[in-house]
A and B are shown apart, each in its own frame.
Chain A
Amino acid sequence: MQKFFEFISQLDRRIIFIFVALAIILPLIFPLNIKFTVTEPVRGFYDAIEKVPNGSKVLFACDFEPGSLPELYPMTYAALEQMLKKDLKIIALSLWPAGPPLAEKALTDMAQNEFKKTYGVDYVNLGFKEGREVVMVSMGSSIPNTFPQDYRGTKVSQIPIMQGVNNFKDVKLIVNISAGYPGTKEWVQQVQARYNIGLVSGCTAVSAPEYYPYYQSKQLLGLLGGMKGAAEYEILVNRIGLGRRGMDAQSMAHVIIFLFIVLGNLAYLSLKKKGT
Protein backbone atom coordinates (compact mmCIF):
# COMPACT_ATOMS: atom_id res chain seq x y z
CA MET A 1 0.00 0.00 0.00
CA GLN A 2 2.85 2.34 0.91
CA LYS A 3 4.39 1.85 -2.53
CA PHE A 4 1.05 2.64 -4.17
CA PHE A 5 0.77 5.89 -2.21
CA GLU A 6 4.35 6.82 -3.17
CA PHE A 7 3.45 6.13 -6.80
CA ILE A 8 0.33 8.32 -6.49
CA SER A 9 2.25 11.15 -4.84
CA GLN A 10 4.72 11.22 -7.74
CA LEU A 11 2.15 10.69 -10.50
CA ASP A 12 2.76 12.77 -13.61
CA ARG A 13 -0.07 15.28 -14.04
CA ARG A 14 -0.38 14.20 -17.69
CA ILE A 15 -1.58 10.77 -16.56
CA ILE A 16 -4.43 12.52 -14.72
CA PHE A 17 -5.19 14.49 -17.90
CA ILE A 18 -5.53 11.21 -19.82
CA PHE A 19 -7.96 9.81 -17.24
CA VAL A 20 -10.07 13.00 -17.34
CA ALA A 21 -10.01 13.00 -21.16
CA LEU A 22 -11.21 9.37 -21.26
CA ALA A 23 -13.90 10.12 -18.68
CA ILE A 24 -15.24 12.82 -21.00
CA ILE A 25 -14.73 11.25 -24.44
CA LEU A 26 -16.11 7.76 -23.76
CA PRO A 27 -19.52 8.81 -22.31
CA LEU A 28 -19.98 11.24 -25.21
CA ILE A 29 -19.44 8.41 -27.72
CA PHE A 30 -21.21 5.73 -25.65
CA PRO A 31 -23.97 7.51 -23.65
CA LEU A 32 -24.77 6.14 -20.18
CA ASN A 33 -28.06 8.05 -19.81
CA ILE A 34 -27.51 8.83 -16.13
CA LYS A 35 -30.79 10.11 -14.66
CA PHE A 36 -31.05 13.44 -12.82
CA THR A 37 -33.91 15.48 -11.39
CA VAL A 38 -35.06 19.05 -12.02
CA THR A 39 -34.21 21.38 -9.15
CA GLU A 40 -36.33 24.25 -7.83
CA PRO A 41 -34.32 27.21 -9.26
CA VAL A 42 -34.51 25.64 -12.75
CA ARG A 43 -38.25 25.07 -12.43
CA GLY A 44 -38.52 28.72 -11.32
CA PHE A 45 -36.81 29.81 -14.56
CA TYR A 46 -39.22 27.73 -16.63
CA ASP A 47 -42.31 28.82 -14.69
CA ALA A 48 -41.38 32.52 -14.91
CA ILE A 49 -41.35 32.35 -18.72
CA GLU A 50 -44.50 30.22 -18.79
CA LYS A 51 -46.35 32.85 -16.73
CA VAL A 52 -45.63 35.61 -19.28
CA PRO A 53 -48.77 36.11 -21.41
CA ASN A 54 -48.44 34.80 -24.96
CA GLY A 55 -47.31 37.42 -27.47
CA SER A 56 -45.70 39.70 -24.83
CA LYS A 57 -42.35 41.40 -25.29
CA VAL A 58 -39.36 40.14 -23.33
CA LEU A 59 -35.81 41.40 -23.04
CA PHE A 60 -33.18 38.76 -23.80
CA ALA A 61 -29.77 39.89 -22.52
CA CYS A 62 -27.03 37.68 -23.99
CA ASP A 63 -24.08 38.72 -21.85
CA PHE A 64 -21.51 36.16 -22.89
CA GLU A 65 -18.73 35.44 -25.34
CA PRO A 66 -17.33 32.34 -27.11
CA GLY A 67 -15.36 31.23 -24.03
CA SER A 68 -18.58 30.32 -22.23
CA LEU A 69 -20.49 28.80 -25.14
CA PRO A 70 -20.54 25.15 -23.99
CA GLU A 71 -22.21 26.18 -20.75
CA LEU A 72 -24.44 28.99 -21.96
CA TYR A 73 -25.43 28.13 -25.53
CA PRO A 74 -27.53 25.07 -24.55
CA MET A 75 -29.61 27.20 -22.17
CA THR A 76 -29.78 30.05 -24.73
CA TYR A 77 -31.28 27.69 -27.33
CA ALA A 78 -33.63 26.07 -24.82
CA ALA A 79 -34.83 29.48 -23.54
CA LEU A 80 -35.41 30.62 -27.13
CA GLU A 81 -37.41 27.48 -27.81
CA GLN A 82 -39.65 28.04 -24.79
CA MET A 83 -40.14 31.73 -25.59
CA LEU A 84 -40.84 31.14 -29.28
CA LYS A 85 -43.32 28.36 -28.52
CA LYS A 86 -45.24 30.98 -26.51
CA ASP A 87 -44.91 33.44 -29.38
CA LEU A 88 -43.09 35.92 -27.12
CA LYS A 89 -41.54 38.89 -28.94
CA ILE A 90 -37.82 38.80 -28.23
CA ILE A 91 -35.70 41.93 -27.91
CA ALA A 92 -32.10 40.66 -27.70
CA LEU A 93 -29.08 42.72 -26.71
CA SER A 94 -25.63 42.24 -25.25
CA LEU A 95 -23.34 44.10 -22.88
CA TRP A 96 -20.40 41.93 -23.95
CA PRO A 97 -18.58 42.91 -27.17
CA ALA A 98 -18.55 39.40 -28.63
CA GLY A 99 -22.15 38.68 -27.63
CA PRO A 100 -24.19 40.01 -30.61
CA PRO A 101 -22.93 37.59 -33.30
CA LEU A 102 -23.57 34.68 -30.93
CA ALA A 103 -27.07 35.96 -30.15
CA GLU A 104 -27.64 36.50 -33.87
CA LYS A 105 -26.67 32.89 -34.66
CA ALA A 106 -28.95 31.49 -31.97
CA LEU A 107 -31.83 33.74 -33.09
CA THR A 108 -31.34 32.79 -36.74
CA ASP A 109 -31.18 29.06 -35.94
CA MET A 110 -34.22 29.08 -33.67
CA ALA A 111 -36.48 32.02 -34.55
CA GLN A 112 -35.86 32.22 -38.29
CA ASN A 113 -35.08 28.63 -39.31
CA GLU A 114 -36.95 26.49 -36.76
CA PHE A 115 -39.98 28.66 -35.88
CA LYS A 116 -40.18 30.66 -39.16
CA LYS A 117 -40.42 33.99 -37.34
CA THR A 118 -39.81 37.35 -39.00
CA TYR A 119 -36.88 39.56 -38.03
CA GLY A 120 -38.01 42.95 -36.79
CA VAL A 121 -41.57 41.74 -36.17
CA ASP A 122 -41.12 38.75 -33.85
CA TYR A 123 -37.54 39.30 -32.74
CA VAL A 124 -34.74 41.82 -32.97
CA ASN A 125 -31.06 41.91 -32.07
CA LEU A 126 -30.09 45.34 -30.75
CA GLY A 127 -26.42 44.41 -30.61
CA PHE A 128 -23.74 45.53 -28.18
CA LYS A 129 -23.43 48.75 -26.27
CA GLU A 130 -20.41 49.79 -24.20
CA GLY A 131 -21.04 51.22 -20.75
CA ARG A 132 -22.00 48.26 -18.57
CA GLU A 133 -24.14 49.45 -15.61
CA VAL A 134 -24.54 52.86 -17.24
CA VAL A 135 -26.22 51.21 -20.24
CA MET A 136 -28.70 49.51 -17.91
CA VAL A 137 -29.50 52.77 -16.14
CA SER A 138 -29.81 54.54 -19.49
CA MET A 139 -32.23 51.85 -20.75
CA GLY A 140 -34.42 52.66 -17.77
CA SER A 141 -34.89 56.13 -19.25
CA SER A 142 -35.05 55.16 -22.92
CA ILE A 143 -34.18 51.96 -24.74
CA PRO A 144 -34.36 53.59 -28.23
CA ASN A 145 -31.95 56.36 -27.14
CA THR A 146 -29.54 53.82 -25.68
CA PHE A 147 -29.72 51.59 -28.76
CA PRO A 148 -30.43 53.99 -31.65
CA GLN A 149 -29.92 51.20 -34.20
CA ASP A 150 -30.01 47.41 -34.19
CA TYR A 151 -27.18 44.95 -34.88
CA ARG A 152 -27.90 45.11 -38.62
CA GLY A 153 -27.73 48.91 -38.69
CA THR A 154 -31.48 49.58 -39.00
CA LYS A 155 -32.82 52.54 -37.03
CA VAL A 156 -34.76 51.32 -34.00
CA SER A 157 -37.63 53.71 -34.86
CA GLN A 158 -38.14 51.77 -38.12
CA ILE A 159 -38.35 48.32 -36.45
CA PRO A 160 -41.97 47.16 -35.86
CA ILE A 161 -41.26 45.14 -32.68
CA MET A 162 -39.73 48.23 -31.05
CA GLN A 163 -42.87 50.32 -31.50
CA GLY A 164 -44.21 51.17 -28.05
CA VAL A 165 -41.04 50.02 -26.33
CA ASN A 166 -39.57 52.93 -24.44
CA ASN A 167 -38.14 51.50 -21.22
CA PHE A 168 -38.28 48.47 -18.91
CA LYS A 169 -41.98 49.04 -18.17
CA ASP A 170 -42.75 47.96 -21.73
CA VAL A 171 -41.30 44.44 -21.37
CA LYS A 172 -42.79 41.67 -19.23
CA LEU A 173 -39.61 39.83 -18.24
CA ILE A 174 -35.85 40.02 -18.52
CA VAL A 175 -34.10 36.77 -19.44
CA ASN A 176 -30.39 37.12 -18.79
CA ILE A 177 -27.76 34.64 -19.94
CA SER A 178 -24.66 35.71 -18.08
CA ALA A 179 -20.98 34.80 -18.20
CA GLY A 180 -19.85 37.25 -15.50
CA TYR A 181 -19.42 41.01 -15.35
CA PRO A 182 -21.50 42.80 -16.55
CA GLY A 183 -24.27 40.26 -16.09
CA THR A 184 -26.85 38.95 -13.67
CA LYS A 185 -25.50 40.76 -10.61
CA GLU A 186 -25.68 44.10 -12.39
CA TRP A 187 -29.14 43.38 -13.83
CA VAL A 188 -30.31 42.64 -10.27
CA GLN A 189 -28.67 45.71 -8.76
CA GLN A 190 -29.41 48.25 -11.45
CA VAL A 191 -32.68 47.08 -12.98
CA GLN A 192 -34.60 44.47 -10.99
CA ALA A 193 -34.36 46.31 -7.68
CA ARG A 194 -34.98 49.73 -9.21
CA TYR A 195 -37.79 48.94 -11.66
CA ASN A 196 -39.22 45.88 -9.87
CA ILE A 197 -39.30 43.83 -13.06
CA GLY A 198 -39.18 40.02 -13.25
CA LEU A 199 -35.70 38.65 -13.91
CA VAL A 200 -34.45 35.12 -14.58
CA SER A 201 -30.84 34.15 -15.08
CA GLY A 202 -28.86 31.42 -16.78
CA CYS A 203 -25.22 31.64 -15.77
CA THR A 204 -21.91 29.81 -15.78
CA ALA A 205 -21.39 27.35 -12.95
CA VAL A 206 -18.57 29.55 -11.58
CA SER A 207 -21.03 32.42 -11.06
CA ALA A 208 -23.92 30.32 -9.71
CA PRO A 209 -22.92 30.33 -6.00
CA GLU A 210 -22.78 34.14 -6.14
CA TYR A 211 -26.29 34.36 -7.60
CA TYR A 212 -28.11 31.83 -5.39
CA PRO A 213 -28.70 34.47 -2.66
CA TYR A 214 -30.61 36.50 -5.27
CA TYR A 215 -32.82 33.49 -5.93
CA GLN A 216 -33.32 32.96 -2.20
CA SER A 217 -34.35 36.63 -1.82
CA LYS A 218 -36.74 36.29 -4.83
CA GLN A 219 -34.82 38.96 -6.76
CA LEU A 220 -34.28 36.22 -9.33
CA LEU A 221 -37.37 34.21 -10.23
CA GLY A 222 -35.26 31.35 -11.55
CA LEU A 223 -31.64 30.33 -11.99
CA LEU A 224 -29.85 27.93 -14.33
CA GLY A 225 -26.34 27.15 -13.06
CA GLY A 226 -23.96 25.92 -15.76
CA MET A 227 -24.37 22.86 -17.95
CA LYS A 228 -26.23 20.98 -15.20
CA GLY A 229 -28.84 23.76 -15.03
CA ALA A 230 -29.09 23.74 -18.82
CA ALA A 231 -29.60 19.96 -18.83
CA GLU A 232 -32.41 20.19 -16.27
CA TYR A 233 -34.02 23.01 -18.22
CA GLU A 234 -33.80 20.99 -21.45
CA ILE A 235 -35.86 18.28 -19.74
CA LEU A 236 -38.61 20.83 -18.96
CA VAL A 237 -38.53 22.28 -22.47
CA ASN A 238 -38.39 18.73 -23.89
CA ARG A 239 -35.28 19.38 -25.90
CA ILE A 240 -32.15 17.26 -26.35
CA GLY A 241 -29.20 19.62 -26.52
CA LEU A 242 -25.58 19.69 -25.40
CA GLY A 243 -26.75 20.15 -21.80
CA ARG A 244 -28.35 16.71 -21.58
CA ARG A 245 -25.79 15.08 -23.86
CA GLY A 246 -22.92 16.40 -21.76
CA MET A 247 -24.25 15.27 -18.36
CA ASP A 248 -22.82 11.73 -18.58
CA ALA A 249 -19.38 13.09 -19.40
CA GLN A 250 -19.69 15.70 -16.64
CA SER A 251 -20.66 13.07 -14.06
CA MET A 252 -17.83 10.71 -15.03
CA ALA A 253 -15.26 13.53 -15.00
CA HIS A 254 -16.44 14.50 -11.50
CA VAL A 255 -16.05 10.90 -10.31
CA ILE A 256 -12.48 10.77 -11.67
CA ILE A 257 -11.56 14.11 -10.09
CA PHE A 258 -13.14 13.04 -6.79
CA LEU A 259 -11.14 9.79 -6.81
CA PHE A 260 -7.88 11.59 -7.51
CA ILE A 261 -8.58 14.12 -4.73
CA VAL A 262 -9.26 11.29 -2.25
CA LEU A 263 -6.22 9.28 -3.40
CA GLY A 264 -4.00 12.37 -3.31
CA ASN A 265 -5.06 13.20 0.22
CA LEU A 266 -4.68 9.60 1.42
CA ALA A 267 -1.20 9.47 -0.09
CA TYR A 268 -0.29 12.79 1.54
CA LEU A 269 -1.55 11.71 4.97
CA SER A 270 0.09 8.29 4.70
CA LEU A 271 3.48 9.71 3.73
CA LYS A 272 3.20 12.44 6.36
CA LYS A 273 2.55 9.78 9.01
CA LYS A 274 5.63 7.90 7.86
CA GLY A 275 7.63 11.13 7.93
CA THR A 276 8.61 10.74 4.27
Chain B
Amino acid sequence: MSYEILGVWVAAFFTLCIFSFLYRDNFFYKLAEHIFVGISAGYGVALQIENVLKPNLLKPLFQEGKMILIIPFILSALLFSRLYSKISWLSRWALALLIGIFSGAAIIGFGSGDLVLQINANLLPLKTNSFLTTFNNFILTFGLITCLLYFFFSKEHKGGFGFIARIGIYFLMISFGASFGYTVMSRMSLLIGRVYFIFGQWLGIIQ
Protein backbone atom coordinates (compact mmCIF):
# COMPACT_ATOMS: atom_id res chain seq x y z
CA MET B 1 0.00 0.00 0.00
CA SER B 2 1.51 3.33 -1.06
CA TYR B 3 1.70 6.30 1.29
CA GLU B 4 -0.86 8.13 -0.85
CA ILE B 5 -3.47 5.37 -0.49
CA LEU B 6 -2.72 5.10 3.22
CA GLY B 7 -3.21 8.86 3.51
CA VAL B 8 -6.61 8.65 1.82
CA TRP B 9 -7.72 5.86 4.20
CA VAL B 10 -6.51 7.76 7.27
CA ALA B 11 -8.28 10.93 6.06
CA ALA B 12 -11.47 8.96 5.36
CA PHE B 13 -11.35 7.34 8.81
CA PHE B 14 -10.99 10.69 10.59
CA THR B 15 -13.67 12.31 8.41
CA LEU B 16 -16.12 9.57 9.42
CA CYS B 17 -15.01 9.94 13.06
CA ILE B 18 -15.93 13.64 12.94
CA PHE B 19 -19.21 12.98 11.09
CA SER B 20 -20.19 10.48 13.79
CA PHE B 21 -20.85 13.49 16.05
CA LEU B 22 -23.95 14.19 13.93
CA TYR B 23 -25.51 11.14 15.57
CA ARG B 24 -24.21 11.89 19.06
CA ASP B 25 -20.99 12.58 20.97
CA ASN B 26 -18.80 9.47 21.05
CA PHE B 27 -15.32 8.03 21.54
CA PHE B 28 -14.32 8.23 17.84
CA TYR B 29 -15.24 11.91 17.60
CA LYS B 30 -13.22 12.70 20.73
CA LEU B 31 -10.27 10.69 19.40
CA ALA B 32 -10.24 12.60 16.12
CA GLU B 33 -10.68 15.92 17.92
CA HIS B 34 -7.76 15.30 20.31
CA ILE B 35 -5.44 14.07 17.57
CA PHE B 36 -6.29 17.13 15.46
CA VAL B 37 -5.56 19.54 18.31
CA GLY B 38 -2.28 17.79 19.15
CA ILE B 39 -1.03 17.68 15.57
CA SER B 40 -2.03 21.31 14.94
CA ALA B 41 -0.16 22.51 18.02
CA GLY B 42 2.94 20.45 17.18
CA TYR B 43 2.90 21.58 13.55
CA GLY B 44 2.52 25.22 14.62
CA VAL B 45 5.49 25.09 16.99
CA ALA B 46 7.73 23.27 14.48
CA LEU B 47 6.76 25.69 11.74
CA GLN B 48 7.48 28.77 13.85
CA ILE B 49 10.92 27.40 14.77
CA GLU B 50 11.89 26.30 11.24
CA ASN B 51 10.24 29.09 9.26
CA VAL B 52 10.51 32.12 11.51
CA LEU B 53 12.92 31.69 14.41
CA LYS B 54 15.79 30.04 12.52
CA PRO B 55 15.90 32.05 9.24
CA ASN B 56 14.91 35.42 10.72
CA LEU B 57 16.69 35.40 14.07
CA LEU B 58 18.95 32.51 15.04
CA LYS B 59 20.78 32.03 11.72
CA PRO B 60 21.49 35.74 10.99
CA LEU B 61 22.43 36.40 14.62
CA PHE B 62 24.65 33.46 15.45
CA GLN B 63 25.94 32.38 12.01
CA GLU B 64 26.06 35.64 10.05
CA GLY B 65 26.89 37.87 13.03
CA LYS B 66 24.11 40.47 12.59
CA MET B 67 24.44 41.79 16.14
CA ILE B 68 21.53 44.25 15.87
CA LEU B 69 19.26 41.20 16.13
CA ILE B 70 20.36 40.78 19.75
CA ILE B 71 17.56 43.26 20.61
CA PRO B 72 14.67 41.11 19.27
CA PHE B 73 16.45 38.05 20.71
CA ILE B 74 16.40 39.55 24.22
CA LEU B 75 12.82 40.77 23.81
CA SER B 76 11.75 37.29 22.69
CA ALA B 77 13.51 35.76 25.67
CA LEU B 78 11.73 38.22 27.98
CA LEU B 79 8.37 36.79 26.88
CA PHE B 80 9.31 33.55 28.63
CA SER B 81 9.73 35.41 31.93
CA ARG B 82 5.96 34.94 32.31
CA LEU B 83 6.79 31.39 33.40
CA TYR B 84 8.39 32.78 36.59
CA SER B 85 6.04 34.92 38.67
CA LYS B 86 8.81 36.99 40.33
CA ILE B 87 10.15 38.35 37.04
CA SER B 88 7.00 38.01 34.92
CA TRP B 89 6.72 41.81 34.71
CA LEU B 90 9.68 41.77 32.30
CA SER B 91 7.46 40.21 29.61
CA ARG B 92 5.40 43.41 29.54
CA TRP B 93 8.19 45.25 27.72
CA ALA B 94 8.07 42.83 24.81
CA LEU B 95 4.26 42.76 24.87
CA ALA B 96 4.11 46.56 24.93
CA LEU B 97 6.27 46.67 21.81
CA LEU B 98 4.12 44.07 20.05
CA ILE B 99 0.87 45.80 20.93
CA GLY B 100 2.26 49.18 19.92
CA ILE B 101 3.44 47.97 16.52
CA PHE B 102 0.23 46.07 15.74
CA SER B 103 -1.98 48.94 16.91
CA GLY B 104 -0.02 51.44 14.86
CA ALA B 105 -0.19 49.32 11.72
CA ALA B 106 -3.90 48.58 12.21
CA ILE B 107 -4.90 52.20 12.88
CA ILE B 108 -3.04 53.55 9.85
CA GLY B 109 -4.43 50.76 7.66
CA PHE B 110 -7.99 51.27 8.88
CA GLY B 111 -7.82 55.04 8.54
CA SER B 112 -6.43 55.10 5.03
CA GLY B 113 -7.85 51.86 3.66
CA ASP B 114 -11.27 51.68 5.24
CA LEU B 115 -12.56 54.90 6.77
CA VAL B 116 -11.63 57.53 4.19
CA LEU B 117 -12.06 55.42 1.05
CA GLN B 118 -15.31 53.83 2.21
CA ILE B 119 -16.86 57.21 3.06
CA ASN B 120 -15.69 58.44 -0.33
CA ALA B 121 -17.20 55.41 -2.06
CA ASN B 122 -20.56 56.08 -0.42
CA LEU B 123 -20.82 59.67 -1.67
CA LEU B 124 -22.83 58.64 -4.72
CA PRO B 125 -24.74 60.78 -7.26
CA LEU B 126 -28.52 60.50 -6.84
CA LYS B 127 -29.15 61.62 -10.41
CA THR B 128 -27.59 59.59 -13.21
CA ASN B 129 -28.42 58.65 -16.81
CA SER B 130 -29.30 55.09 -15.81
CA PHE B 131 -32.48 54.47 -13.82
CA LEU B 132 -31.06 51.32 -12.20
CA THR B 133 -27.86 53.09 -11.08
CA THR B 134 -29.91 55.96 -9.64
CA PHE B 135 -32.16 53.46 -7.85
CA ASN B 136 -29.19 51.52 -6.45
CA ASN B 137 -27.43 54.69 -5.32
CA PHE B 138 -30.62 55.91 -3.64
CA ILE B 139 -31.11 52.59 -1.78
CA LEU B 140 -27.46 52.60 -0.66
CA THR B 141 -27.55 56.22 0.53
CA PHE B 142 -30.93 55.83 2.23
CA GLY B 143 -29.84 52.58 3.91
CA LEU B 144 -26.58 54.13 5.08
CA ILE B 145 -28.31 57.14 6.63
CA THR B 146 -31.04 55.11 8.36
CA CYS B 147 -28.50 52.60 9.75
CA LEU B 148 -26.30 55.43 11.05
CA LEU B 149 -29.33 57.05 12.69
CA TYR B 150 -30.21 53.74 14.37
CA PHE B 151 -26.81 53.85 16.09
CA PHE B 152 -27.34 57.45 17.23
CA PHE B 153 -28.25 57.05 20.89
CA SER B 154 -28.17 60.67 22.08
CA LYS B 155 -31.83 61.07 21.14
CA GLU B 156 -34.62 58.73 22.16
CA HIS B 157 -35.90 56.55 19.30
CA LYS B 158 -39.45 57.99 19.23
CA GLY B 159 -41.70 59.69 16.69
CA GLY B 160 -40.26 60.49 13.25
CA PHE B 161 -36.69 59.78 14.42
CA GLY B 162 -37.76 56.40 15.84
CA PHE B 163 -39.53 55.57 12.55
CA ILE B 164 -36.36 56.25 10.52
CA ALA B 165 -34.24 54.31 13.03
CA ARG B 166 -36.68 51.41 12.65
CA ILE B 167 -36.14 51.43 8.88
CA GLY B 168 -32.41 51.25 9.71
CA ILE B 169 -33.08 48.04 11.68
CA TYR B 170 -34.76 46.51 8.61
CA PHE B 171 -31.73 47.33 6.48
CA LEU B 172 -29.51 45.75 9.12
CA MET B 173 -31.74 42.65 9.24
CA ILE B 174 -31.47 42.28 5.46
CA SER B 175 -27.67 42.47 5.69
CA PHE B 176 -27.65 39.91 8.54
CA GLY B 177 -29.84 37.65 6.40
CA ALA B 178 -27.42 37.95 3.47
CA SER B 179 -24.50 37.15 5.79
CA PHE B 180 -26.37 34.13 7.18
CA GLY B 181 -27.10 32.93 3.65
CA TYR B 182 -23.43 33.19 2.76
CA THR B 183 -22.53 31.33 5.96
CA VAL B 184 -24.89 28.48 5.05
CA MET B 185 -23.35 28.41 1.56
CA SER B 186 -19.87 28.28 3.08
CA ARG B 187 -20.69 25.40 5.43
CA MET B 188 -22.41 23.46 2.66
CA SER B 189 -19.30 23.89 0.50
CA LEU B 190 -17.17 22.33 3.23
CA LEU B 191 -19.59 19.41 3.47
CA ILE B 192 -19.55 19.02 -0.32
CA GLY B 193 -15.75 18.92 -0.20
CA ARG B 194 -15.76 16.09 2.34
CA VAL B 195 -18.54 14.15 0.59
CA TYR B 196 -16.66 14.55 -2.69
CA PHE B 197 -13.54 13.19 -1.01
CA ILE B 198 -15.34 10.17 0.49
CA PHE B 199 -17.32 9.23 -2.62
CA GLY B 200 -14.59 10.28 -5.06
CA GLN B 201 -11.08 9.76 -3.79
CA TRP B 202 -11.89 7.08 -1.21
CA LEU B 203 -14.75 4.99 -2.61
CA GLY B 204 -14.24 5.91 -6.27
CA ILE B 205 -17.98 6.28 -6.95
CA ILE B 206 -17.67 9.86 -8.29
CA GLN B 207 -15.24 10.13 -11.20
Q: Which residues of A contact B (CB under 8 A)?
A: 14, 17, 20-21, 24-25, 28-29, 67-71, 97-98, 100, 127-130, 132-134, 137, 148-149, 186, 188-190, 192-194, 204-206, 208-209, 213, 216-219, 225-228, 242, 245-246, 249-250, 253-254, 257
Contacts and interface: CB of A to CB of B under 8 A. Distances in A.
Nearest to B200: A28
B196 A245 contact: yes
B52 interface: yes
Contacts of A24: 188, 191-192, 195
B196 to A, nearest CB: 6
Contact of B185 (A29, A130, A213, A250): A250
B88 interface: no
B133 interface: no
Contact of B192 (A98, A213, A250): A250
B22 interface: yes
A257 B184 contact: yes
A204 B190 CA distance: 10
Given A29-B206, A209-B175, A204 B186 contact: yes
Nearest to A21: B195
B63 interface: no
Contacts of A21: 195
Nearest to A149: B55
Given A28-B196, A70-B196, A193-B112, A254 B188 contact: yes
Contact of A129 (B51, B186, B194): B51
A206 B179 CA distance: 7
A208 B184 CA distance: 12
A216 B121 contact: yes
B183 interface: yes
Contact of B102 (A130, A134, A217): A134
Contacts of A134: 101-102, 105
A205 B193 CA distance: 14
Contact of A148 (B56, B102, B109, B121): B56
Of B178, B179, B186, chain A has the most CB atoms within 10 Å of the CB of B186
A170 B136 CA distance: 38
B154 interface: no
Interface in B161-206: 175, 178-179, 182-186, 188-196, 199-200, 205-206
B206 A194 contact: no
Contacts of A209: 175, 178-179, 182
Nearest to B176: A209
A69 B199 contact: no
Nearest to B189: A227
Contacts of A205: 182-183, 185-186, 189
Contacts of A97: 43-44, 47-48
17 contacts: A20-B191, A28-B195, A69-B193, A70-B190, A70-B196, A127-B51, A128-B51, A134-B102, A134-B105, A186-B109, A189-B109, A189-B112, A193-B109, A219-B113, A219-B117, A228-B185, A253-B188
Given A29-B199, A71-B186, A213-B118, A193 B193 contact: no
B163 to A, nearest CB: 26
B62 interface: no
Contact of A71 (B47, B189, B200): B189
Nearest to B116: A193
B33 interface: no
A150 B176 CA distance: 41
Contact of B194 (A68, A70, A194, A213): A70
List the 4 closest pairs (A to B, CB-CB), nearest first. Answer: A70-B193, A217-B121, A189-B109, A189-B113
Contacts of B22: 14, 17
Contacts of A70: 189-190, 192-194, 196
Most buried by B among A21, A189, A204, A218: A189
A29 B200 CA distance: 9
A148 B55 contact: yes
Nearest to A225: B182
B176 to A, nearest CB: 9
B141 to A, nearest CB: 13
